Amino acid sequence: MNTTLTMAMPKGRIFEEAVDLLKQAGYPLPPEFDESRKLIIDVPEAELRFILAKPMDVPTYVEHGVADIGIAGKDVMLEEERDVYEVLDLNISACYLAVAGLPGGNHERIAPKIASKYPNVAAHYFREQGQQVEVIKLNGSIELAPLIGLADHIVDIVSTGRTLKENGLVELERIADITSRLIVNPASYRLHAVRINEMVERLRTLVESKGEKA
């Protein structure tokens, strides 16, 4: 049986930390990971194939089974609600999702406008609060929305808090802590249980040892 596992990796912010983690867990990732523009990288000596995807798309590849496993931010998992197993918190790329807005803006309408790259998370959060809202989906520069009157509030990622601060916005409510997760396609988990469990355990040991040192 072909035991090569396909792993969907998020390009961008998470990528470097995820590659470091895999290297530390003993996977021999070639220099291509540091410099190339290739979107498929085979590592035959580890029986692994990596596909490099947009972070928001990683659970889609895993749900459809074209990747057996993947790494995705919890923010993406909450937004996409894909049918995949979330098997390990890798504890990398930490940040959080928050509601933010201009300070002192309490002359609110019945259904305030909320701009976000995470429309499902935003809608779900306010529904739980019993608050009617109108969600406006944006793809970036979310902090712009309240500054130019497109929205009353935003739901966005906060890491250092610098973007909010430099744009004169304040955090209003914290929604969820975010780290990256190892995710698995359910059918692949049954088919490749031994290999996938071995990877999960290797990474779990590493993540726990890092946690103890911190």
Ligand X SMILES: O=P(O)(O)OC[C@H]1O[C@H](OP(=O)(O)OP(=O)(O)O)[C@H](O)[C@@H]1O
Ligand Y SMILES: Nc1ncnc2c1ncn2[C@@H]1O[C@H](COP(=O)(O)OP(=O)(O)OP(=O)(O)O)[C@@H](O)[C@H]1O
Say whether residue 205 binds ligand X (CB under 6 A): no
Q: Quote the least distance from Cβ 28 to ligand X, whole Å.
A: 31
Out of 52, 92, 142, 145, the only residue in the binding site for ligand X (CB under 6 A) is: 142
143 binds, among ligand X, ligand Y, none (CB under 5 to 8 A by kind): ligand X
Helix H, strand E, coil C: the string for 185-209 is: CHHHHHHCHHHHHHHHHHHHHHHHH
Q: Of the ranges 60-68, 119-127, 150-158, 172-180, which one interacts with ligand X (CB under 6 A)?
A: 150-158
Say whether residue 18 binds ligand X (CB under 6 A): no
Q: Are strands 113-116 and 134-137 parallel, antiparallel or unpaired?
A: parallel
For the chain, state the CA radius of gyration: 19
How far is 133 from 87, CA to CA, in rounded Å? 33
Say whether residue 178 binds ligand Y (CB under 6 A): yes
How far is 183 from 68, CA to CA, in rounded Å? 9
Out of 158, 184, 196, 199, the only residue in the binding site for ligand X (CB under 6 A) is: 158
Say whether residue 141 binds ligand Y (CB under 6 A): no
Task: Tell me how many residues contact ligand Y (CB under 6 A).
Answer: 16
Selection from 162, 143, 135, 132 nearest residue 101 by Cα: 143
Which residues of the chain form beta strands (DSSP E)? 5-10, 40-43, 48-53, 69-73, 85-89, 95-101, 113-116, 134-137, 153-158, 170-178, 180-184
Out of 1, 160, 194, 213, the only residue in the binding site for ligand X (CB under 6 A) is: 160
Q: Quote the least distance from Cβ 154 to ligand Y, whole Å.
A: 13
Site for ligand Y in 42-61 (CB under 6 A): 54-56
Q: Of the ranges 65-73, 103-111, 141-149, 174-182, which one interacts with ligand X (CB under 6 A)?
A: 141-149
